[in-house]
Chains A and B, each alone.
Chain A
């Protein structure tokens, strides 16, 4: 019980640190490198390593943090990220069951696709207008985030998960 509480607190702190890290990259790096979404990378790698349902709550908390720093209606990021990862978690258990680097890479593309679809829907609902630049941003985000998911998970899988029984 106590171990679970300590673990939860540690994950919340880690999520906040990753969010701040993501914010730094978003603010400091030039386009297109600022499109790398470290929150999604972190959540997907958490899924790859732990494969635990707490992922959805972490996604919920990450979305909540993003909403605190967004000028859109509160809830746009929370709803988009939570439901994108709820869907991904379901895919993880029903389809991508081999937990390989490749399946996590494909899941990264699907996650961003779902997240941005929900986001864009809520964005339009918020009364905002779209133009083609946003889709260029999405494509870069999808490409670079997926690339980093592949790289990070490749090394984690090869050097850490293969040696230790994490799952």
Chain B
């Protein structure tokens, strides 16, 4: 009797969970998710600023003899930090604007809301979505046109960006060397980026710049990606590999631009 009761409870819970997953799939619980997401997104907004705050300011918590001066000093430091963050954001916007000034791209700036919670994934959530014409496969850049990833999921007001160091990221790229070597750029669990399938007979050197080749749909040709760091060349294998250092700091991204369309 007890066992039967437990089995009933187990299947009831299983049923409820499955119903919930199916309802989400058919977007029937959006009314429930929307206010929760809005609230959490709003409260997560300072997360990147907080990261920057800890990164750049080690002296904020020093002790002064007088509490008054200590408070003033702290306040001053906080204001300085805010100013630094705004200045950095402004610089980033300027760089992105400069990049787009002589290009025929339709683009959109976006703020990074948070990173996703999956430990293996290296993805970001940005505050633009379907309503801003963002589509799956759109390229995402930072700074002076440095490619950092692609859109993999779009919702009404937010999208998920898969970074190039994610283990599921594959991008066709070109090395700027004499041979203009082509290869595939693959991420490695957030730890690094490798370029595979580079023909064995082509000469590559550490420091060579990697750009997008334009062969992957949705990624324009010539976007900066990284530099060759180490070359892995085995004589018995048909292809050589290279370890790539991304030009952008993928661990700290606050503002991005999404390339929606390329006018040819």
Contact = CB atoms under 8 A, between A and B. Distances in A.
A28 interface: yes
Interface in A105-152: 123, 128-131, 133-134, 137, 141
| Interface size classification for chain B | 35 or more
Interface in B161-179: 162, 167-168
A123 B167 CA distance: 13
Interface stretch (B40-48, B78-86, B207-215, B224-232): B40-48
A71 B51 contact: no
B195 to A, nearest CB: 19
Given A16-B40, A68-B33, A78 B47 contact: no
Nearest to A72: B118
Nearest to B22: A75
B241 interface: no
Nearest to A123: B120
Interface stretch (A3-11, A18-26, A44-52, A155-163): A18-26
Interface in B46-92: 47-48, 50-51, 54
Nearest to A134: B120
Contacts of B191: 133
Contact of B17 (A24, A35, A75, A129): A75
B31 interface: no
A153 interface: no
Contacts, number: 96
A24 B47 CA distance: 6
A66 interface: yes
Interface residues of A, number: 37
A33 interface: no
Interface string B14-52: 001100110011000000010011011001100110110
Contact of B24 (A16, A74, A86): A74
Contacts of B153: 71
Contact of A16 (B13, B20, B39): B39
A144 B121 CA distance: 21
B204 interface: no
Interface stretch (B93-101, B109-117, B127-135, B256-264): B109-117
A130 B48 CA distance: 28
A64 B33 CA distance: 9
Contact of A68 (B16, B40, B120): B40
Interface in B199-243: none
A56 B13 contact: yes
A152 B39 CA distance: 28
B152 interface: yes
A20 B44 CA distance: 7
Nearest to B188: A131
A24 B53 CA distance: 13
B189 interface: yes
A34 B21 CA distance: 28
B125 interface: yes
A27 B21 contact: no
30 contacts: A16-B39, A19-B40, A20-B44, A24-B44, A24-B47, A26-B115, A28-B47, A28-B54, A60-B13, A65-B40, A67-B24, A68-B33, A68-B37, A68-B40, A70-B116, A70-B121, A71-B118, A71-B153, A72-B118, A74-B24, A74-B25, A75-B20, A78-B20, A82-B13, A131-B167, A131-B189, A133-B120, A133-B189, A134-B119, A137-B119
Given A28-B51, A82-B17, A141-B119, 20 more contacts: A20-B44, A23-B47, A23-B117, A27-B44, A27-B114, A28-B47, A60-B20, A64-B20, A65-B36, A68-B37, A70-B117, A71-B152, A72-B118, A74-B25, A75-B24, A78-B17, A90-B6, A131-B189, A133-B120, A133-B191
Interface of A: 16, 19-20, 23-24, 26-28, 35, 56, 60, 64-72, 74-75, 77-79, 82, 86, 90, 123, 128-131, 133-134, 137, 141
